[in-house]
A and B are shown apart, each in its own frame.
Chain A
Amino acid sequence: MTFIDLKRIIKSGFQNFTRNSFVSLSSILIMVVTLSVAGLLLLSRAVLTTTVETLENKVDITVFFDLGANENVILDLKQEVDAIPEVASSEYVSATQALINFRERHQDDELTLQALDELGGNPLGAMLNIKAKNPEDYGIIAETLGDQGALSQSSLQVINKINYYQNEQVINRLVAITTGAQTLGTVLLIILGTISVVITLNTIRLTIYSARQEIGVMRLVGAGTKYVRGPFIIEGVLYGLVSSVVTMVLFFPITLWLGEKMSMFLGINLHTYYLSNFFQFFIILLIVGIILGTVSSAIAVRRYLNH
């Protein structure tokens, strides 16, 4: 294809697009629906990923020490723990700090504070919060801590309890629920997406169906395949282009609203997410839109070209 052919095809595509404004509008509206579904898919993935990440961060192992355990022994133990390859970090909370934290957490709870005052002294022991590099490693770390051979005798003597085993089930269940929700959401959106893709394909096919007579005329004038198909493909590209821009604009107020009202619930401000991923978001919608427009045009014209 020569440059002049390309220029003419593109010009003709633009003309069809602007001159059939009503047809273009309906195709674009349908495609905006499809792209919105794609956009929602992206946003929901972001929400679910954040949820899983948050949950994963909440998981840790806390080692509680006996009351009045020797701090040096605990610090030695911390060194031993840090040496375990699966451990990312560990944080030592002294008994005094634990008491301060406890009081802060219950500052509105008079009764508990009173009870605490009545006890006198510090009923809380020191503790060590351990974070793993990977969530799957917590089991290994907990086992290592419980294993008699891994730690020195003196360290083992001061450990009161390790809370991983108590939390294990809850944590696993939460992760299972989130992954389940993620899978279900993805499946639903894929179904929705498929439906809207089919509708878009059909809409564009119908717009080209109405142009089938013109295709016949073009053929009679001796137009080669590229001259007949080209402008329709350009039109499809334009549908995708305009639709993705419209969808991006639509998502601005939608995410703004979601960001204001739902950030606490979703655990992520979707508007901030949308703005910080604006470019990536746009490129994805643009590519999906253009592929959708081009492919449906190509399929539709092919039918009438072969007649």
Chain B
Amino acid sequence: MIQFVNVSKVYPDTDVEALHNVDITIEEGEFVSFIGHSGAGKSTLVKMLLREDRPSEGSILYKGEDINDFSHKEMNLYRQNIGVVFQDFRLLSNKTVFENVAFAMEVAGKPDEIIAEDVPYVLELVDLVDKANNFPHQLSGGEKQRLAIARAIINDPKLLVADEPTGNLDPASTYEVVDILKKINKLGTTVILTTHNTGVVDALKKRVITLEKGSIVRDDPHGSYIISKK
């Protein structure tokens, strides 16, 4: 479903090689965790995947097509098919919980009736029904992240990308978020997770790819993994 083909990224202003010859294939329905220290290249990887940035070399294929060849319109469609969750939540501060989720459906052109039906359903899934009319600044960190997940999955994406989703959360909220991600994966959505929290990866028992200084150092189909301590 997703293929990184010899992807390298050098940031021109610093000459730092954030990714080096990364070659990965992710199949549909997989739950893949990327683990590594800060600066290992996890966020760069996600940025490439969302085309927030372009690779210096190599290509990224989505269902066999290079995403860097997508037109504006194709890019919007591609992004509507990918749910994204970030460490810093990235919610729309002017919109209520309900509207934040509804917005993702609106831009995908869904009719009002479907929105009115689907949003409460998803909010229930992340346990935010009671807060539907609150604004993001009235939510706790865990609630914000659950809202971000709700928004990410509302359009029934084929792929969910979660970039350090538990980075700002306490252990209880972390557990809730991971649990929701597992549920989503069980429903058939491919999940890509980046984290530096080994506990999260241990609990998942799914495929883990370890990054160090921009290169893949381990790729294990399942099990718990510990970052090499150097």
User: Which A residues lie at the B interface, using CB under 8 A?
Assistant: 2, 4-5, 8, 15-16, 19-20, 213-214, 216-225, 227
Query: B217 at interface (Cβ–Cβ under 8 A)?
Result: no
On whether the beta carbons of A222 and B90 are closer than 8 Å, the reply is: no
Binary interface profile of B, 79-108, with partner A (CB < 8 Å = 1, else 0)? 111101000001111110001000110111
Q: A4-B111, A4-B112 are in contact. Are A221 and B103 (CB under 8 A)?
A: yes
Interface centre among A213, A221, A222, A223 (most CB of B within 10 A): A221
Residues of B within 8 A of A217 (CB): 90-92
Rounded to whole angstroms, the CA-CA distance of A227 and B80 in the bound complex is: 13
Q: A214-B92, A214-B94 are in contact. Are A221 and B111 (CB under 8 A)?
A: no
- How distant is B134 from chain A, measured CB to nearest CB, in Å? 13
On whether the beta carbons of B106 and A227 are closer than 8 Å, the reply is: yes
- How distant is B147 from chain A, measured CB to nearest CB, in Å? 12
On whether the beta carbons of A222 and B92 are closer than 8 Å, the reply is: no
Q: A227-B106, A227-B107 are in contact. Are A222 and B76 (CB under 8 A)?
A: yes
- Kindly list the 3 A-B residue pairs having the minimum CB-CB distance in the complex, ordered from nearest: A222-B79, A222-B80, A223-B107
Q: A8-B106, A227-B107 are in contact. Are A218 and B77 (CB under 8 A)?
A: no
Question: Can you pick out 27 interface pairs between chain A and chain B where the beta carbons lie within 8 Å of each other?
Answer: A5-B109, A15-B95, A15-B99, A19-B94, A20-B94, A213-B90, A214-B93, A214-B94, A217-B91, A217-B92, A218-B92, A219-B79, A220-B84, A220-B90, A221-B80, A221-B84, A221-B103, A221-B151, A222-B78, A222-B79, A222-B80, A222-B104, A222-B108, A223-B76, A224-B72, A224-B73, A225-B72
Nearest CB in chain A to that of B102: its residue = A8
Q: A214-B93, A227-B106 are in contact. Are A220 and B112 (CB under 8 A)?
A: no
Nearest CB in chain A to that of B112: its residue = A4
Query: B169 at interface (Cβ–Cβ under 8 A)?
Result: no
- How distant is A271 from chain B, measured CB to nearest CB, in Å? 42
Nearest CB in chain B to that of A214: its residue = B92
Query: B180 at interface (Cβ–Cβ under 8 A)?
Result: no
Nearest CB in chain B to that of A7: its residue = B112
A sample of 20 more A-B contacts (CB under 8 A), given A4-B109, A220-B52, A222-B104, is: A15-B99, A16-B94, A213-B90, A214-B92, A214-B93, A216-B90, A217-B90, A217-B92, A218-B103, A220-B50, A221-B84, A221-B103, A221-B107, A221-B151, A222-B76, A222-B80, A223-B103, A223-B107, A224-B72, A225-B72
- How distant is B62 from chain A, measured CB to nearest CB, in Å? 14
On whether the beta carbons of B107 and A218 are closer than 8 Å, the reply is: yes
- How distant is A216 from chain B, measured CB to nearest CB, in Å? 8
Rounded to whole angstroms, the CA-CA distance of A72 and B111 in the bound complex is: 91
Q: A4-B111, A4-B112 are in contact. Are A221 and B94 (CB under 8 A)?
A: no
The total of interchain contacts (Cβ-Cβ below 8 angstroms) comes to 56
On whether the beta carbons of A224 and B50 are closer than 8 Å, the reply is: no
Nearest CB in chain A to that of B93: its residue = A214
Residues of A within 8 A of B92 (CB): 214, 217-218
Interface centre among A20, A214, A220 (most CB of B within 10 A): A220
Rounded to whole angstroms, the CA-CA distance of A88 and B52 in the bound complex is: 76
Rounded to whole angstroms, the CA-CA distance of A224 and B92 in the bound complex is: 16
- How distant is A24 from chain B, measured CB to nearest CB, in Å? 12
Nearest CB in chain A to that of B77: its residue = A222
Nearest CB in chain B to that of A220: its residue = B84
- How distant is B176 from chain A, measured CB to nearest CB, in Å? 23
Residues of A within 8 A of B91 (CB): 217
Residues of A within 8 A of B76 (CB): 222-224
Within 8 A of A (CB), among B34-76: 50, 52, 72-73, 76
Residues of B within 8 A of A227 (CB): 106-107
Rounded to whole angstroms, the CA-CA distance of A221 and B103 in the bound complex is: 8
Residues of A within 8 A of B80 (CB): 221-222
Residues of B within 8 A of A214 (CB): 92-94
On whether the beta carbons of A220 and B94 are closer than 8 Å, the reply is: no
Nearest CB in chain A to that of B135: its residue = A19
Residues of A within 8 A of B73 (CB): 224
Residues of B within 8 A of A2 (CB): 109
Rounded to whole angstroms, the CA-CA distance of A51 and B79 in the bound complex is: 65
Nearest CB in chain A to that of B89: its residue = A217
Rounded to whole angstroms, the CA-CA distance of A238 and B76 in the bound complex is: 28
Interface centre among B52, B77, B106 (most CB of A within 10 A): B106
Rounded to whole angstroms, the CA-CA distance of A5 and B92 in the bound complex is: 19
On whether the beta carbons of A15 and B94 are closer than 8 Å, the reply is: yes
Nearest CB in chain B to that of A219: its residue = B79
Partner of B79, one of A5, A19, A221: A221
Rounded to whole angstroms, the CA-CA distance of A218 and B99 in the bound complex is: 13
Residues of A within 8 A of B50 (CB): 220
Q: A4-B111, A4-B112 are in contact. Are A221 and B95 (CB under 8 A)?
A: no
Rounded to whole angstroms, the CA-CA distance of A5 and B112 in the bound complex is: 11
Residues of B within 8 A of A16 (CB): 94
